[in-house]
């Protein structure tokens, strides 16, 4: 088989890239190790930046998000149960975010891919890459007991944090930057109305809590807990009790309890691997960087990477210019690091750290009080949360 761009991974990065390339007349094949049901079933992100929603519309997959997505003009922060509001729209010249689950985004992407005849190979095992330093890289894998081989012009590793593509960059070239956190988020989904029309990021003495949602009938709640916590130790009642305590009496009283149908622990990690291009291999999304979920940046960053990359590849094929390709890693990383900084900072002011003494806790509360009182500080938070500009030329 021969194609122009071989994409490894059919997550958000891989599928947005496939649709973008196809809309620009560039051929690609997507190779995914799992099946569609598995990838579509993974409960992950919930908040889309305006630019991500606009891209969906531009790609012709924006109808359902426009109808079912919840547009949020701001968010709430809470300090030990006392709430204050950050008005994104007023602070950023009208920008908003949209609550629409990653599972829904994936469904829209796959439906469009099927309609547009984009080739996706599901259940591909043992992907290996070769020829990345030459002119004709290749992808080899097993599919239904047969060995498959695809020659292409470029390979894009969209295979997430645990993927294989990053490992094909020689150790002498690769630079990895990492911050580990000793805690994770225990999240639940329940078909109960959300406690509040907007999200609440709550800093509490006992740890962080987040009140989010998927729709007006479906709530998504998280509580900070130790990284190796066993979700089975958290029967629903224990979860609801702890959540209400951390959200405080005012919001706690508005929490509707009900049986959870999903409960899982997500680790928190900050991670960047540089460069995002080596020879004929590009990395995009979680394959190159991870942020803690506090800033709701994961999916949006993956989308920004592939917007940049698809424009660079279009310049290469249509104008014969490799300028965009050569600049991809530097330009993507510049923006990635800003999102890393924001996600790390937002995590640092909202979570309980194990080594936090009384002084550190007072500083945290002072910072949140300052944000509450200063329009300038609110603006810094708001413009990062709604998404920093992406210059795609």
Which residues, 157 to 176, sit near ligand FAD by CB under 6 A? 158-160, 163-164
Q: Among 5, 8, 65, 272, which residue sits at the site for ligand FAD (rule: CB under 6 A)? A: 8
Q: Contact with ligand FAD (CB under 6 A): which of 5, 6, 7, 14?
A: 14
Task: Out of 100, 110, 316, 385, pick the active-site residue.
Answer: 385
Residue of 211, 296, 313, 336 interacting with ligand PHB (CB under 6 A): 296
**Residues 329, 334, 335, 338: what is their CA dihedral angle, to the nearest 10 degrees?**
140
Structure tokens at 219: 């709530």
> And the tokens for 370?
């300052």
x-marked contacts with ligand FAD along 275-314 as a string, rule CB under 6 A:
----------xxx-----x--xxxx--x------------
Q: How far apart are CA 355 and CA 325, in angstroms?
A: 43
If binding is defined by CB under 6 A, does position 350 make contact with ligand FAD?
A: no
Residue 257: Cβ-neighbour burial (10 angstroms; 0-12, 13-18, 19+) = middle
Closest approach, Cβ 266 to ligand FAD, in A, equals 4
Of the candidates 155, 157, 164, 159, the one whose C-alpha atom is nearest the C-alpha of residue 134 is 155
List Cα–Cα distances, 267 to 13, 95, 120, 233, in angstroms.
20, 30, 29, 17
Residue of 204, 220, 246, 351 interacting with ligand PHB (CB under 6 A): 220
Contact 329, 309 (CB under 8 A): no
Binds ligand PHB by CB under 6 A, chosen from 293, 303, 306, 342: 293
DSSP string of 137-175? -EEEEEETTEEEEEE-SEEEE---TT-SGGGGS-TTT-E
Look up residue 351 and give its two tokens: 């979570």
- What is the rounded CA–CA span in Å between residue 18 and residue 28? 7
- Taking CB under 6 A as the rule, does residue 387 contact ligand PHB? no
Sheet holding 70-72, edge to edge: 47-49, 97-99, 70-72
Closer to ligand FAD by CB, 81 or 382: give it.
382
By CB under 6 A, is residue 263 in contact with ligand FAD? no
**Of 139 and 255, CB closest to ligand PHB:** 255
Is there binding between residue 21 and ligand FAD (CB under 6 A)?
no
Q: Which two tokens stand for residue 192?
A: 């109960």
Q: Return d(Cα 348, Cα 363) in angstroms, integer.
A: 11
User: Could you say which of 201, 221, 222, 328 is catalytic?
Assistant: 201
Specify whether the CB–CB gap between 184 and 268 falls below 8 A: yes
Span interacting with ligand FAD, options 25-33, 51-59, 129-137, 252-260, rule CB under 6 A: 25-33
Q: How far apart are CA 245 and CA 249, in angstroms?
A: 7
Dist CA 56 CA 228 (whole Å):
37
Using rule CB under 6 A, residue 143 touches ligand FAD: no
Nearest residue (CB) to ligand FAD, 242 versus 305: 305
Q: Quick one: 72 or 166, whose CB is closer to ligand PHB?
A: 72
Residue 49 C-beta: closest distance to ligand FAD, Å: 10
Quick check: is 297 catalytic? Answer: yes
Which run of H or E residues covers position 383? helix 375-385
- Please report whether residue 223 would count as binding ligand PHB according to CB under 6 A: no
What string marks each residue from 102 to 121 as x (binds ligand FAD by CB under 6 A) or -? x-------------------
With binding defined as CB under 6 A, does residue 47 bind ligand PHB? yes
For residues 29-88, which are near ligand FAD according to CB under 6 A? 31-34, 39, 44-46
* Residue 46 interacting with ligand PHB (CB under 6 A): yes
- Interface residues with ligand FAD (CB under 6 A) are 8-14, 31-34, 39, 44-46, 102, 124, 127, 158-160, 163-164, 266, 285-287, 293, 296-299, 302
Q: Which residues are catalytic?
A: 72, 201, 293, 297, 385
- Interface residues with ligand PHB (CB under 6 A) are 45-47, 199, 212, 220, 293-294, 296
């Amino acid at each position: 088989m021969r194609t122009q761009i071989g994409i490894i991974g059919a997550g958000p990065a891989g599928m947005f890239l496939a649709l973008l390339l196809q809309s620009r007349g560039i051929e690609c094949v997507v190779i995914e190790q799992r099946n569609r049901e598995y990838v579509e079933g993974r409960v992950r992100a919930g908040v889309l930046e305006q630019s991500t929603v606009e891209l969906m519309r531009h790609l012709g997959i924006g109808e359902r998000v426009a109808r079912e997505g919840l547009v949020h003009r701001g968010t709430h922060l809470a300090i030990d149960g006392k709430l204050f509001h950050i008005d994104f729209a007023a602070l950023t010249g009208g920008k908003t975010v949209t609550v629409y689950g990653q599972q829904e985004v994936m469904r829209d992407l796959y439906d469009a891919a099927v309609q547009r005849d984009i080739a996706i190979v599901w259940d591909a095992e043992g992907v290996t890459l070769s020829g990345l330093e030459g002119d004709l890289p290749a992808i080899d894998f097993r599919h239904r007991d047969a060995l498959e081989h695809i020659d292409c012009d470029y390979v894009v590793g969209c295979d997430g944090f645990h993927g294989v593509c990053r490992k094909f960059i020689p150790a002498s070239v690769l630079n990895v930057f990492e911050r580990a956190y000793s805690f994770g988020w225990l999240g639940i989904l329940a078909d109960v109305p959300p406690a509040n029309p907007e999200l609440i990021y709550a800093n509490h003495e006992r740890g962080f809590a987040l009140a989010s949602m998927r729709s007006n009938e479906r709530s998504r709640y998280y509580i900070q807990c130790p990284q190796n916590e066993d979700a089975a130790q958290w029967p629903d009642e224990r979860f609801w009790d702890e959540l209400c305590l951390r959200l405080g009496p005012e919001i706690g009283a508005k929490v509707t309890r009900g049986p959870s149908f999903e409960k899982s622990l997500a680790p928190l990690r900050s991670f960047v691997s540089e460069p995002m291009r080596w020879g004929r291999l590009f990395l995009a999304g979680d394959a190159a960087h991870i942020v803690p979920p506090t800033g709701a940046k994961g999916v949006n960053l993956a989308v920004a990477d592939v917007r940049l990359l698809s424009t660079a590849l279009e310049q290469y094929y249509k104008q014969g210019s490799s300028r965009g390709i050569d600049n991809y890693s530097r330009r993507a990383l510049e923006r990635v690091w800003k999102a890393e900084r924001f996600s790390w900072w937002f995590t640092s002011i909202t979570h309980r750290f194990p080594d936090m003494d009384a002084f550190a806790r007072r500083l945290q509360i002072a910072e949140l009080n300052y944000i509450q009182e200063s329009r300038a500080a609110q603006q810094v938070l708001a413009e990062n949360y709604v998404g920093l500009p992406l210059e795609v030329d």
